[in-house]
A = this chain, B = another copy of it.
């Protein structure tokens, strides 16, 4: 048996991740374009599955898709002070077009709040025009220094929702509705448990009043911000003069929200479930649920096996691996690395006995079953796998969540954690939402992930830095 091309997690988590991504046909680095990747067929098919799940939910909650220009006049970014400060260092700027230097350069969108503000001011005049609930599926560019496939790339694919409302209350409802929707897709479809909560002021989106996030835990214990939903208040409404006439005839600025998830979700998916054999995909995101590998040596066996295989595969919705010049063993490894949830084997003796072998990707369990039960068994295994992957990830998160009651304790737990070595924890501590406190946490390269929406711990307590009483514990962790 040849050696696995996948570096074990325990040896080097970062290299393991890269190996899983490459051998899972998920992506590869595009060295010739700084910090970009090519999303390969298996990776893009997973993205399409996630798009479908998200988009169906957006539409069911009355959002409509639109498409806005990629390029934004540079001056637009300046209009909201915090926003430009947040994004200016990461912009890619078009200065030449059609053979001429441009009078005003364009930036490639790092996100679209500014151009949305411009169009909202054209579309919205009266309370009758509200709410406006739109979303776009698009690419964005943020010039990052350190990149990692899916988790942080200079170009990435995402959806960005943008809404305008006539009251702050309604906007906040929208922000939380979307946060719930993101958590649902993450947990029920991706089998990735998350903590919903509000970001600290120091960590909020540049230009928002408040930002909410879902935070997941990777196998090395690092946190991953998997989605964000922002209460923009009237900041962009004011910056872009988006005013509406209320029912009472008064002029007011609209209340806006924005929210997004990106191809980063795929990185979180991989880092949550995969193992030393390669990619593991929860059945609900697996583009292909099962594959059947026919086994035969002699030509007379081939015909019999392939005939039975074709029939079974049809009922199972399975792909039959007919590749010539490849051993069954090599085929098994191939599908294992691609994260196919269920792989069947069918050889001449199976055909004779009416049996077949079914193998489950996450547990590696192999079982001989009657062919007549294959369809039911497959459905059962797919269900169980979806459920078990979530339960396992939940258990891991629970096992690696600890309480701390002093800054010394937090630093001791997280200080030496790295992405490569692992050992990360979610440390629950009482901490006041104050940028000075965030800065202290950043000294040991951790951060406040969020202030959970639901307090699962002991309620109010004294801030570990200022001693003031705060409402509940926050999540502190090292993060991607």
Q: A395 contacts which chain B residues (CB < 8 A)?
A: none
A358 to B213, CA, bound (A): 48
List, in ascending order, chain B residues with CB within 8 A of A68's CB.
Answer: 30, 38
Q: Which of B33, B67, B99, B145 contacts A39 (CB 8 A)?
A: B67
Residues 136-178 of A contacting B (Cβ, < 8 Å): 138-139, 141, 143, 145, 155, 157
Given A32-B118, A38-B66, A71-B33; A96-B98 close (CB under 8 Å): no
Partner of A139, one of B39, B90, B105, B139: B139
Q: Of B38, B90, B95, B108, which one neighbours A67 at CB under 8 angstroms?
A: B38
A40 adjacent to chain B (CB < 8 Å): yes
Q: Which residues 86-110 of A sit at the B interface, judged by CB distance below 8 A? A: 88-99, 105-106, 108
- Which residue of A33, A90, A138 has the most chain B CB atoms within 10 A of its CB atom? A33
Contact of A41 among B30, B119, B134, B141 (CB under 8 A): B134
A413 at the interface (CB under 8 A from B): no
What are 22 A-B pairs with beta-carbon distances under 8 A?
A30-B69, A33-B69, A33-B73, A34-B97, A36-B69, A37-B69, A38-B66, A38-B68, A38-B69, A38-B119, A40-B66, A41-B64, A41-B65, A70-B155, A71-B155, A91-B97, A91-B98, A95-B95, A97-B143, A99-B143, A138-B139, A139-B139
A127 to chain B, nearest CB (A): 12
Q: Which of B45, B67, B70, B72 interacts with A141 by CB under 8 Å?
A: B70
Taking the complex as formed, is A455 at the interface, i.e. its CB lies under 8 A from any CB of chain B?
Answer: no
* Contact of B88 with A66 in the complex, beta carbons under 8 Å: no
Interface residue A444 (Cβ < 8 Å from any Cβ of B): no
| Chain B positions within 8 Å of A37 at CB level | 69
- Which B residue sits closest to A36, measured CB to CB? B69
Given known A-B contacts A45-B64, A95-B95, A70 and B139 have beta carbons under 8 A apart: yes
Q: Which residues of B contact A325 (CB under 8 A)?
A: 128
Indicate whether A296 reaches chain B with its CB closer than 8 angstroms. no
User: When the two chains form the complex, which single residue of B48, B67, B93, B96 contacts A97, counting CB atoms closer than 8 Å?
Assistant: B93
Is A44 engaged at the interface, CB distance under 8 Å to the other chain? yes
- Judging by beta carbons under 8 Å apart, are A96 and B96 in contact? no
Task: Write the chain B residue with the least CB distance to A95.
Answer: B95
Q: How far does the alpha carbon of A66 sit from the alpha carbon of B39 in the complex, in Å?
A: 5
Among the interface residues A41, A64, A66, A106, which one has the most CB atoms of the partner chain B within 10 A?
Answer: A66
Say whether B95 contacts A90, CB under 8 Å. Answer: no
- Is there an interface contact between B97 and A33, defined as CB atoms closer than 8 Å? no
Q: Give the secondary structure class of A's interface.
A: mixed
Give Cα A119 to B71, complex, Å. Answer: 26
Which residue of the partner chain, among B34, B44, B47, B65, contacts A64 with CB atoms under 8 Å? Answer: B44
Considering the chains assembled together, what is the distance between the CA atoms of A77 and B92 in angstroms? 20
Whether A44 lies near B73 (C-beta < 8 A) is no
From residue 107 to 130 of chain A, which have CB atoms closer than 8 A to chain B? 108, 115, 118-119, 128
| The 7 A-B residue pairs with the shortest CB-CB distance in the complex, in nearest-first order | A98-B143, A41-B64, A39-B67, A93-B96, A36-B69, A33-B69, A92-B97
Assembly CA distance A325 to B247 (angstroms): 13
Nearest chain B CB to A257 CB, angstrom units: 18
Contact A108–B94 (Cβ < 8 Å): yes
Q: B72 to A33, Cβ gap below 8 A?
A: yes
Contact (Cβ within 8 A) B157 A67: yes
- Chain B residue nearest to A263 (CB atoms) is B67
For chain A residues 51-94, which have a beta carbon within 8 Å of chain B? 64-73, 76, 88-94
Are A96 and B95 within 8 A (Cβ)? yes
Known A41-B64, A65-B41: A93·B92 in contact at CB below 8 Å:
no
Q: How far is the CA of A143 from the CA of B72 in the complex (A)?
A: 15
Q: Which B residues touch A66, using CB under 8 A?
A: 38-41, 44
Least CB distance from A15 to B in Å reads 20
* Besides A93-B96, A98-B145, 14 other A-B contacts (C-beta < 8 A): A30-B119, A32-B76, A33-B71, A37-B69, A38-B67, A44-B64, A45-B65, A90-B98, A91-B96, A92-B98, A92-B106, A93-B94, A94-B94, A94-B108
Bound form: Cα–Cα A33–B70 in Å: 9
Among the listed B41, B47, B69, which residue makes an inter-chain contact with A155, where contact means beta carbons less than 8 Å apart? Answer: B69
Q: Which residue of B lies closest to A96 (CB)?
A: B93
B-chain residues with CB within 8 Å of residue A47 when the two chains form the complex: 67
Point out the residue from B96, B115, B128 that lies within 8 Å of A92, measured CB to CB.
B96
A67 cross-chain contacts in B, Cβ below 8 A: 38-39, 44, 47, 157
